Structures are given as structure tokens and as C-alpha cells.
Amino acid sequence: MDLTEIIQPGMGREEISIVEEEHTAAHVGSGSLRVLATPWMIAFMERAARVFLGEHLPQGYSSVGVHVDVHHLAPSPVGSRIKARAEVVSIEGSRVNFNVEAWDGSGKIGGGRHQRVVIDKARFLRRVADRSRADQTGTTSG
């Protein structure tokens, strides 16, 4: 499948989320305060990229996140409305590179890069099953 036939740089998606207690640094253990945790900010950004690809990929395909490089710039308290945006910047074979950003009502809270790989779901799940069997038997390949 040639992804450039269905996805082009400049395309993207925005997702809206509300910061709840479960999204706080204190709750997830990445900090001690009741503000949006960095792992959740990243998850909101990844979700925008994943949903975008899911809307454009043919049946039987999905994507997995393989790289994130972001900066968390400002705190967002519980109740904040977070807008996360993912915009395609390039496509390299099965890899789709995104610029990602997030804002709350006071301004930009984070930004950076995110890369996802488009996968054939059936093939990917076979690999997962193989790894699960290897893990259960204690065998490794490296």
C-alpha cells in the first residue's frame, strides 16, 4: 500500500479532552501535583494522530506509535479543556511523521514530534501471539 495516495503532509486532526483526576501527575505517579501529567498530554497527542490515521486507512490496517519527542511547557489543572492536534509532516514508507501540539484555555502547553507505523493488523497480532508464547516459555531471540 502506498500511503502517499491517501495521506499527504498538511493533513491532520484535533481532539478535545478534559483533564480529570485520573489524568493528573499525582494520580499516575509522574509527579505530586493535581495537574495534567506529561504521559497523559502525550496520550492526547497520540490519540489525535491515531484517530486521523484510523479515518484514512483501509480496513485491516491500523497504526502503532513508535516514537515521541515532546516538551511539556505549562501546567493544566483538573477541569481544563485540552485541544491536541496532530499534523502530518512526512511519510517514509509505512512511517508517518507528525507535528503534535496541545493547548488549554490559557495557551500552548506542549509540542513536538510523533511517529506512527502503519501495520497490517492480522500480521501484527500474529507477532504478538508469537512473542507471548516465547515469553511464557522463557525463550528469547537476543
12: CATH:
3.10.129.10
Domain membership of residue 117 (yes or no) is yes
Assigned domain for 142 exists: no
Position 108 scores a pLDDT of: 98
Residue 142 pLDDT > 60: no
Residue 137 has pLDDT above 90, yes or no: no
Task: Summarize the confidence of residues 99-117 as an average pLDDT.
Answer: 98
Contacts (Cβ under 8 Å, ≥6 apart) of 12: 48, 52, 85, 86, 87, 88, 98
Within-domain flag for 98:
yes
**90 found inside a domain:** yes
Burial-class residue 72 by CB neighbours within 10 Å (0-12, 13-18, 19+).
Answer: buried
Work out the percent of the chain whose per-residue pLDDT is above 70: 97
For residue 100, is it within any domain? yes
Mean pLDDT of the chain: 96
The number of beta carbons lying within 10 Å of the beta carbon of residue 116 is 24
How many domains does the chain fold into? 1
pLDDT classification of 138: cutoffs 50, 70, 90: confident
Range of the domain at 64: 3-136
pLDDT of 98 over the 60 cut: yes
**What is the arithmetic mean of pLDDT over 57-75?**
98
Within-domain flag for 141: no
| Residue 55 scores a pLDDT above 60 | yes
Q: Which three cell numbers stand for residue 103?
A: 493547548
Question: Does the pLDDT at position 101 exceed 70?
Answer: yes
